[in-house]
Structure 1
């Protein structure tokens, strides 16, 4: 991938480093919550750039109504026991597991990556309800690298939205009943925006 990327001035000349994990929690309805830690990974541009060029990104398609359409983003997945594409991601996953295991009851085990090349790439409203997230509380931890995009959330079935602009090493963790009772999305935007990579850490059996 060679999409142009303009890095953060705050990351210029800064070696990648994970900062203390002290997220701020927003309590939602129906037992859902969201933790946010801005700038959790400092110097994150030096993580974004090798992922952008070295991850074996794949383009997927899906059947929608009477036709097959391209998924508007590129994807990669690292299952249980797979070697992650950057050593800092392994450190991040272990730190997240150490922090959240007392509440989650297990450790994060997999990593899914999404590459949003520009504002035309997106993910529609959804919850991670394939697998165990359909019937029980769980967590999904997302590290955002590259340009900021808005993560929007709303109650399942519709309602007032909230959102967070995430990029350049920011962390968001959706927990409790969030995957069952709320939906989230990265919506298309017509404004100029650079590429973004999201890294989603999940427990075993949550998709």
Structure 2
């Protein structure tokens, strides 16, 4: 039996919607299995005072390579049908159309992502949905003061679980940064799908 979705605002600011059980348990399990068995994950490197391994695995699906770090780009793989189904579900829920998916694979608590804003591809107020599969990990947002400096007193924390969808909207991506901190606590694998949209010239 499909559970009723619960949709709520995380806070008045930032503008973030949290849709619990956007995918039912059976759907989430099946999607997780497909990603684990069919996605080609890579541990990329970033040039930050010398080349370092990114503390997670990544895969990118779409029609363009994903600019990464000083000339490094994630090579795009064609969009598989099982991810297109999720894109269509998100569009049907009223969150917009998307043509690319970035998948982050956090193998355990040592994997993390630092505070950052997502690429907006020229949209000052992008809508960016994010779907969690597997283990729940705390996610945080904090408002930027100047540049990338954060006002930690504004920190908002939420913990999306298996099948939950988080949607950033409005000025959230421009004015706030978000991150997944590492932890020494025992935690299972988390896979996160972030959906992007970019106008791509027809060839």
TM-score range, shorter chain: 0.7 to 0.9
RMSD across aligned positions (CA): 2.3
Q: Which residue matches 2:79?
A: 84
Q: Distance in 1 between matches of 2:195 and 2:156?
A: 22
Q: Distance in 2 between matches of 1:97 and 1:36?
A: 16
Kept after mapping to 1: 8 A contact 2:125/2:170: yes
**Which TM-score applies when normalising by structure 1?**
0.77
Q: Distance in 2 between matches of 1:180 and 1:115?
A: 25
Give the secondary-structure state (helix, strand or coil) at the position aligned to 1:183: strand
Q: Does 1:187 align with 2:181?
A: yes
Q: Which residue matches 1:52?
A: 36
Give the C-alpha shift of residue 110 in structure 1. Answer: 1.0
Give the secondary-structure state (helix, strand or coil) at the position aligned to 1:137: coil
Q: Does 1:140 align with 2:117?
A: no
Q: Distance in 2 between matches of 1:21 and 1:57?
A: 30
Q: Distance in 2 between matches of 1:98 and 1:21?
A: 14
- Of residues 39-48 and 145-154 in structure 1, the stretch that sits farther from structure 2 once superposed is 39-48
Structure 1 unpaired stretches of 5+: 1-13
Q: Which residue matches 1:34?
A: 16
**Which TM-score applies when normalising by structure 2?**
0.79
Task: Give runs of aligned pairs for residues 1-207 of structure 1, distance below 5 A.
Answer: 23-29=7-13, 32-42=14-24, 43=26, 44-65=28-49, 67-80=50-63, 83-85=78-80, 87=82, 89-100=83-94, 107-129=97-119, 131-133=121-123, 136-156=124-144, 157-159=150-152, 160-204=154-198
Give the C-alpha shift of residue 198 in structure 1. Answer: 0.5
Structure 2 unpaired stretches of 5+: 65-76, 145-149
Give the C-alpha shift of residue 21 in structure 1. Answer: 6.0
Give the C-alpha shift of residue 28 in structure 1. Answer: 4.0
